[in-house]
A and B are shown apart, each in its own frame.
Chain A
Amino acid sequence: MRVLFFGEMRRLLPPGREAVELELPEGACVADALARVGVRPEEERIVGLNGVLAQDTTPLHDGDELSLYHPMGGGAGR
């Protein structure tokens, strides 16, 4: 699966990369992917799965695209 990073979440993106490819075991969920890319459990975030809001427990499948956002934005800061 592929993980995209937006806004403040781009700090987790390795330099020179625009996305991270992940291989996760059968039955993995969103929380597993977040842990793999370095999102802290307590960190505020918005997670999109194939363009729809997802929860930590949402199951993942081959070919999924996960988009990570920080809930802040614009002049409100981080």
Chain B
Amino acid sequence: MAYGYWNRILRVNLTERTWRVEAPGETFFERYVGGRAFIGYYLLTETRAGVDPFGPENPLIFAPGVVTAAPLPGAGRHSVGAKSPLNDGFGEAESGGYWGAELKKAGYDALIVEGQAETPTWLWITADGVEFRDARPLWGRTTGETQEAIRRELGDALVRVAQIGPAGENRVRFACVVNDLKDVAGRTGMGAVMGAKRLKAIAVRGRAKVPLADPAAIHSLARWVAATLMEKHRTFHEFGTGAGMTGKHLAGAIPTRNYQEGLFPGVERINAEAIARTVRVGMESCYACSVRCKKVVEVTEGPYRVDRKYGGPEYEALAALGPTCGVDDLIALCKANELCNALGLDVISTGTTIAWAMEAYERGLLSPAEADGLDLRFGNPHTVVTLVERIAHRQGLGDLLAEGSVRAARQLGRGTEAFTVHVKGLEVAMHDPRHMPNMLRNYPVAPTGGDHTGTAYEERGFRNVIGLCHFLNYDREQVLALTRAITGWTDFDEQALQTVARRGITLARLVNLREGHGRHDDVLPPRLHEPLPAGPLKDRVITREEVAAIVREYYLAQGWDPETGVPTVETLRALDLPTDLLAAVSR
């Protein structure tokens, strides 16, 4: 068996309240490696087409990679996946933090949660197995209250807790899975899938060290990260994400007022530098990481108190709840971010869906009565904070917005679909493709839709599968070296890296095709084809032909049919994937 694995997949069935450990064997791990590829494999082989995302037959898969839990900066990543209730296709969210590493240290390479509990349940996972515990007293509680109660019940303050807030319980379609209150698997509604299973939380404690083929090489790389910190990771170490946001404003590309504009001078008041000067009380790390890029904020007085236990806003939160909603009130943004973590909401979809409602309101397409009397004009920080809570609890207008911008627009009608900013139903992240060529190449083909992490391409796609943070400045040789040092795959080379990455990408593609996403979904929304009204990008128009050319080139690079985007039989063979996976697609 390769190093870096236990050969143990933990499978829990909530309907039957049973669990078992499977040993799929070395070939399985060498082929699928982890992360997205595990998720794609299990969705394709164990679920049928058209499965209800909220049904018991939709498994929720927690998938670390082979790097996860190695004593190495960047080794704190894992993915959470299922069929998504937001994009109706491949659902996946990555998270940093400690939870994924803790699962590995408990002796499991992945966790598959099946079925649906009869009553709210939480799981207690250790090397000895799984206990099913009663979550009825926790149902409706915030993540902070729930984590405290679980740690108290277990008498262990170091237990790692992955959980949902009220948003997941209420099946808000962009509810997230929250780890340790602040490390979030945010995108595609994995929290809603967990809520539909009546699974409130998964507490895990592990004490084993994953065996490494060459521990000295890993320690050497870890020392290199520490020794070159100010050269290679200075900004992340000093500020985390959100530093240099002002550059996006200068370039005319900070997503503003539902992507209608690209200039937002108020960005100076809400960027990471402003946070460091005002409300920041510390920086924290993920598992084994010396970069320590996670900012912690606290506000102890005024209308919005912000609890430091929920961490602090990252760039995506600052931009989505801020300029996208026209808001430059830093304290309100910190509060909205805290509420998203406490209630279990993805900050990007939350901000972008609120921004869609604000535009509808300003255009007279959503009446004051439908807005529950809220001042829904862009720029009102109180409205954003209020709507975060109402979405999580599905109150009033929040019930409509909890469906995500695409379904909400479909329900409201009145032409509001024209300004939903999404790809495949997933709200677009905070990087304007009119400015960023890499995002122009990324958004149309990202397996989950409007995701910004770039994992549709080899480098990021590989990091996703092995469970390595995208922020760590390892060069390609170092990525290959650490993979070899962990696994003992001594001949793992550039070609192998590309094959592993492409296998994950193709598996995700097959899930999407099976669920009905095809060439017609690999597009940008109309809003991103519009020119910006002012600023340096005023004349920049992305044409549909430009996007079509990018998509075609991408299909060819992946070995998919250039017209339909269906992987060819030859490609599946080259990737050592079962060709019968194509049968489900053609049906």
Q: A residues within 8 Å of B by Cβ? A: 6-11, 13, 15, 46, 48, 51-53, 67, 69-78
Q: How far is the CB of B474 from chain A (nearest CB, A)?
A: 12
Whole-angstrom distance between the alpha carbons of A15 and B429 in the complex? 33
12 pairs across A/B with beta carbons < 8 Å?
A: A6-B273, A10-B238, A46-B251, A67-B246, A69-B246, A69-B250, A70-B244, A71-B248, A73-B243, A74-B314, A75-B314, A75-B316
Interface string of B243-272 (1 = CB under 8 A from A): 111111011100000000000000000000
Whether the Cβ atoms of B241 and A71 lie closer than 8 Å is no
Which residues on B sit within 8 Å (CB–CB) of A11? Answer: 230-232, 234-235
Within 8 A of A (CB), among B299-355: 314-316, 319
Q: Which of B56-64, B213-221, B430-438, B516-524 sits within the interface?
A: B430-438
B409 at the interface (CB under 8 A from A): no
The answer to whether A73 touches B248 (Cβ under 8 A) is yes
List chain B positions with a Cβ less than 8 A from chain A: 230-232, 234-235, 238, 241-248, 250-252, 273, 314-316, 319, 429-431, 435-436, 438-439, 452-454, 470-471, 473, 536
**Do residues A74 and B241 form an inter-chain contact, with CB atoms below 8 A?**
yes
Smallest beta-carbon distance A40→chain B, Å? 15
* Contact among B245, B470, B536 with A73 in the assembled complex (CB-CB below 8 Å): B245
Contacts of B243 in A (CB 8 A): 6-7, 10, 73
Question: In the bound complex, what is the Cα–Cα distance between A6 and B470 (angstroms)?
Answer: 20
Say whether A71 contacts B436, CB under 8 Å.
yes
Of all A-B residue pairs in the complex, the 10 with the closest CB atoms, nearest first, are A69-B247, A7-B244, A74-B315, A6-B244, A46-B247, A69-B244, A74-B241, A48-B250, A53-B250, A10-B235
Decide if A7 touches B454 in the complex (CB within 8 Å): no
Check A77–B454 contact: CB distance below 8 A.
yes
A38 vs B241: C-alpha distance in the bound complex, in angstroms? Answer: 23
A48–B429 touching, CB < 8 Å: no
Instruction: For the complex formed, measure the closest distance between the CB of A5 and the CB atoms of chain B, giving whole angstroms.
Output: 9
A75/B429 in contact, CB under 8 A: yes
16 A-B pairs besides A73-B243, A73-B244 with CB distance below 8 A are A9-B235, A10-B238, A11-B232, A46-B251, A67-B246, A69-B244, A69-B247, A69-B250, A71-B251, A72-B438, A73-B248, A74-B245, A74-B315, A74-B316, A74-B319, A78-B473
Q: Which residues of A contact B251 (CB under 8 A)?
A: 46, 53, 69, 71
Q: What residues on B are CB-neighbors of A8 within 8 Å?
A: 235, 244
Contact in complex: B436, A76 (CB < 8 Å) = yes
Query: B247 contacts A76, CB within 8 Å?
Result: no
Give the CA-CA distance A50 to B289 in the complex, in Å: 37
Q: What's the minimum C-beta distance from A57 to chain B, rounded to whole angstroms?
A: 15
> Is the CB–CB distance between B230 and A71 below 8 Å?
no
List residues of chain B with CB within 8 A of the CB of A78: 471, 473
Residues of B close to A70: CB separation below 8 A: 244, 247
Query: Of A13, A15, A52, A77, which contacts B250 at CB under 8 A?
Result: A52
User: Which of A7, A9, A67, A72 has the most chain B CB atoms inside 10 A of its CB?
Assistant: A7
Q: Could you say which residues of chain A place their CB within 8 Å of the CB of B252?
A: 53
Q: How far is the CB of B121 from chain A (nearest CB, A)?
A: 32
Q: Do A76 and B452 touch (CB < 8 A)? A: yes
Do A76 and B454 touch (CB < 8 A)?
Answer: yes
- Distance in Å: Cβ of B276 to nearest Cβ of chain A: 12
- Given A6-B247, A7-B235, A9-B244, verify A71-B316 contact (CB < 8 Å): no
**Contact partners of B314 in chain A: CB under 8 A:** 74-75
**Distance in angstroms between the alpha carbons of A74 and B319 in the assembled complex:** 9
Q: Are A48 and B246 in contact (CB under 8 A)?
A: yes
Residues in A whose Cβ lies below 8 Å from that of B315: 73-75
Complex interface: chain A residues within 8 A of B438 (CB): 72, 76
Measured CA separation A66–B245 after assembly (Å)? 16
Q: B235 and A76: CB pair below 8 A?
A: no
A47 to B316, CA, bound (A): 22
User: Given A8-B235, A11-B235: A73 and B250 within 8 A (CB)?
Assistant: no
The CA-CA distance from A10 to B241 in the complex, in Å, is 13
Q: Which residues of B contact A73 (CB under 8 A)?
A: 241-245, 247-248, 315, 431
Interface centre among A8, A13, A15, A77 (most CB of B within 10 A): A77
Bound Cα distance A73, B454 (Å): 13
Q: Which of B246, B430, B439 gathers most chain A CB within 10 Å?
A: B246
Asked if A75 and B452 sit within 8 Å, CB to CB, the answer is yes
Chain A's nearest CB lies how many Å from the CB of B417?
Answer: 27
- List A contacts of B319 (CB < 8 A): 74
Which of A7, A9, A71, A74 is the most central at the interface, judged by chain B CB atoms within 10 Å of its CB? A74
Contact of B435 among A51, A67, A71 (CB under 8 A): A71
Chain B residues positioned under 8 Å from A52 (CB to CB): 250
The CA of A18 and the CA of B316, in the complex, are separated in Å by 25
A38 to chain B, nearest CB (A): 12
Cβ B247 vs Cβ A77 within 8 A: no
Complex Cα distance, B544 from A1, in Å, reads: 44
Most buried by B among A7, A46, A75: A75
CB distance from A74 to the nearest CB of B (A): 3
| Cα-based distance from A78 to B475 in the complex (angstroms) | 13
Name the A residues within 8 Å of B230 (CB-CB).
Answer: 11, 15
Task: Report Cα–Cα, A6/B249, bound state, in Å.
Answer: 13
Residues in chain A near residue B231, CB distance under 8 A: 11
CB distance from A14 to the nearest CB of B (A): 10
A31 to B: closest C-beta gap in Å: 17
User: Please, how many angstroms separate the alpha-carbon atoms of A46 and B247 in the complex?
Assistant: 6
Check A76–B244 contact: CB distance below 8 A.
Answer: no
Chain B residues with CB under 8 A of A9: 235, 244
Q: A15 contacts which chain B residues (CB < 8 A)?
A: 230
Chain B residue with Cβ nearest A47: B250
**Assembly CA distance A47 to B34 (angstroms):** 40
- A7–B273 Cα distance when bound, in Å, is 10
Q: How far does the alpha carbon of A70 sit from the alpha carbon of B473 in the complex, in Å?
A: 15
CA distance A9 to B453 in the complex (A): 21
Chain A residues with CB under 8 Å of B238's CB are 10
